[in-house]
A = this chain, B = another copy of it.
Amino acid sequence: MANSTLTLKRLGIDTYHEAVLYMNRNCHVCRSEGFVAQSRVQVTLGDRHLIATLNVVASQMLEECEASLSESAWLALGAQEGSQIHVGHPDPLESVSALRAKVYGQRLGDAAWREIVTDIVNGHYSNLHLAALVTACAGDRMDADETLSLTRAMVETGERLTWQSPVVVDKHCVGGLPGNRTTLIVVPIVAAAGLIIPKTSSRAITSPAGTADTMEVMAPVGLDVKQMRRVVESEGGCIVWGGNVRLSPADDLLIRVERPLDFDSEGHLVASVLSKKIAAGSTHVVIDMPVGPTAKVRSVEAARALRERFETVGAALGISVDVQVSDGSQPVGRGIGPALEARDVLAVLRREADAPDDLRERALNLAAHVLEMSPQVKAGTGARMAAQILDSGRAWTKFLAICEAQGGFREPQVAPLTRTIVSQHTGECVAVDNRRIAQVAKLAGAPLSRAAGVDLHVRLGQRVERGAALYTIHAEAPGERDYALSFATHHPDIVRVESR
């Protein structure tokens, strides 16, 4: 099929992760193959191929014998200016009938989940297919067996790490609680104690900062598997972004549509967490599950169901899961946004006098549970051990060593623009809306503007005078500051103060 060959020209169009092929409307391939805008096409370059969505170009931007690719597709194919690509019809999607069955409410078995996940990892799903799958699984629409099948398929379709140690630990927070950046404290404590903790973290999905975003303010996180292995072998632990290590790559692709849709599913949540841990070679994991009216998990019943799901699936896949339900009624620490959260983390590690107590206590409690997963650590002694490691400065030393091994430590930046929201009346702080305060931080530019976010000045139960500062918006650009401010002004109850 020599005449279906086209010459690549780089237009540099970034569509986020969606693979898009651009072709001239009068191109002979379009005509002979019957392609039109929105067609799914298979693009082959050498021995690599992917499936892309076609956009048809009517202008002279592309000649009739030329084509271009969106940036992510360009990189995935290892394309060069002038590369020859072959464009053809993709094979019918293997898993499309399984997807349809799931959409219509049927349960899927092991083989069907494997088909779906394989198609996702091979880039065969369009954003529409991914959105349909995420929606079909939303809420509680997957049972425990399906969750198990999905988790297994996700592990099997990515890389998998192994370590020399019989015990490899990890921790994870199910999220929804702004500022809950305990990972950056737990990892150095646990690694300083001699355990292996190969931690991969995500960037923000719907929140103002992911652990990877916050860590990146202080050290590089974009390590590949080889670099990650070197860090863990020398320091016992790492805190790297999961996106470059291809552990459970299907998960990353599902998350790319969950972010703009702003909803997810219980089954995918469990599969997402456990597949990453199993692929990272972990044998034990502590899961922090904050519960509160505006946290991700809203009720004790929901937490119980989710814990059971984690434990059942974990047991079936040979990973020991310890779920710790915690208070999710308000943000943790003071900062919300990458740099502001990093500042709080550093204050705890450096044992500064004004370090946020709640962040310190949460981190110590989780570290204790992680430590006690080791057969070397006696039950009941984890808490004292964790505190000693933190208070002696060994955790701080270890954190610096990990940062150096990852590429070098740097101090977080401070945003140039701030605006403070004050209380309209005198009383007691009775509620903080986690979702809305996170929204303010996002409008202010977090996580992409690293120094942007919100600094919270009050805690639940605190007495507040009229005119006292409730929180401060930090921004890097005036437009973002104004959006955040306008939203804050329209929602005066984000931090609720009532006279009692």
Chain A, range 29-64, C-beta contacts under 8 Å to B: 31-34, 36-38, 40, 55-59, 61
Are B12 and A37 neighbours in the complex by a CB distance under 8 Å? Answer: no
Interchain nearest-CB distance for A265 vs B (Å):
9
Chain A, range 9-29, C-beta contacts under 8 Å to B: 10-16, 22, 25
Q: A14-B25, A131-B132 are in contact. List 5 more A-B contacts (CB 8 A).
A: A12-B25, A14-B57, A14-B58, A34-B448, A103-B138
A interface residues (Cβ-Cβ under 8 A, vs B): 1, 4, 10-16, 22, 25, 31-34, 36-38, 40, 55-59, 61, 70-71, 89, 96, 100, 103-105, 126-129, 131-132, 134-136, 138-139, 141, 257, 260-263, 443, 445, 448-449, 477-480, 483
What 10 A-B pairs come out closest when comparing CB atoms?
A12-B58, A12-B59, A131-B131, A16-B38, A135-B135, A14-B37, A32-B479, A14-B56, A16-B37, A104-B139
Are B71 and A58 neighbours in the complex by a CB distance under 8 Å? Answer: yes
Give the interface SS of chain A, mostly helix, strand, loop or mixed.
Answer: mixed
Residues of B within 8 Å of A36, CB to CB, are: 16, 448
Residues of B within 8 Å of A25, CB to CB, are: 12, 14
The chain B residue sitting closest to A89, CB to CB, is B483
The chain B residue sitting closest to A40, CB to CB, is B260
- Alpha-carbon gap, A477 to B136, bound state (A): 38
Residues of B within 8 Å of A96, CB to CB, are: 262
Identify A128's interface contact among B22, B261, B483, CB under 8 A. Answer: B261
- Alpha-carbon gap, A138 to B103, bound state (A): 7
Interchain nearest-CB distance for A84 vs B (Å):
18
Are A11 and B132 neighbours in the complex by a CB distance under 8 Å? Answer: no
Interchain nearest-CB distance for A480 vs B (Å):
5
- Alpha-carbon gap, A40 to B262, bound state (A): 13
Interchain nearest-CB distance for A500 vs B (Å):
30
Known contacts: A32-B477, A131-B135, A479-B34. The answer to whether A263 contacts B103 by CB under 8 A is yes
Residues of B within 8 Å of A131, CB to CB, are: 127-128, 131-132, 135
Interchain nearest-CB distance for A268 vs B (Å):
13
Are B100 and A262 neighbours in the complex by a CB distance under 8 Å? Answer: yes
Would you list 27 pairs from A and B whose C-beta atoms are within 8 A, ordered by A residue?
A: A11-B57, A11-B59, A12-B57, A13-B59, A14-B37, A15-B37, A15-B38, A15-B55, A16-B36, A32-B479, A33-B479, A34-B445, A34-B448, A40-B260, A55-B70, A61-B61, A105-B141, A126-B260, A127-B128, A128-B128, A128-B261, A131-B131, A131-B132, A132-B261, A132-B263, A135-B135, A135-B136
Known contacts: A11-B59, A11-B61, A61-B11. The answer to whether A33 contacts B480 by CB under 8 A is yes
Interchain nearest-CB distance for A76 vs B (Å):
15
Residues of B within 8 Å of A127, CB to CB, are: 127-128, 131
Interchain nearest-CB distance for A473 vs B (Å):
13
Residues of B within 8 Å of A126, CB to CB, are: 260
- Alpha-carbon gap, A56 to B14, bound state (A): 5
The chain B residue sitting closest to A487, CB to CB, is B92
The chain B residue sitting closest to A24, CB to CB, is B12
- Alpha-carbon gap, A290 to B139, bound state (A): 35
Interchain nearest-CB distance for A146 vs B (Å):
16
Interchain nearest-CB distance for A392 vs B (Å):
41
Are A13 and B4 neighbours in the complex by a CB distance under 8 Å? Answer: no
- Alpha-carbon gap, A397 to B149, bound state (A): 62
Residues of B within 8 Å of A103, CB to CB, are: 135, 138-139, 263
Interchain nearest-CB distance for A128 vs B (Å):
5
Are B34 and A260 neighbours in the complex by a CB distance under 8 Å? Answer: no
- Alpha-carbon gap, A404 to B201, bound state (A): 66
Interchain nearest-CB distance for A493 vs B (Å):
16
Are B129 and A132 neighbours in the complex by a CB distance under 8 Å? Answer: no
Are B478 and A32 neighbours in the complex by a CB distance under 8 Å? Answer: yes
Known contacts: A15-B38, A55-B15, A59-B10. The answer to whether A477 contacts B132 by CB under 8 A is no
Identify A105's interface contact among B134, B139, B449, B480, CB under 8 A. Answer: B139
Which one of A131, A139, A141, A445 has the highest number of Cβ atoms from chain B below 10 Å of its Cβ? Answer: A131
The chain B residue sitting closest to A96, CB to CB, is B262
- Alpha-carbon gap, A308 to B228, bound state (A): 61
- Alpha-carbon gap, A16 to B128, bound state (A): 14
- Alpha-carbon gap, A477 to B70, bound state (A): 28
Residues of B within 8 Å of A11, CB to CB, are: 57, 59, 61
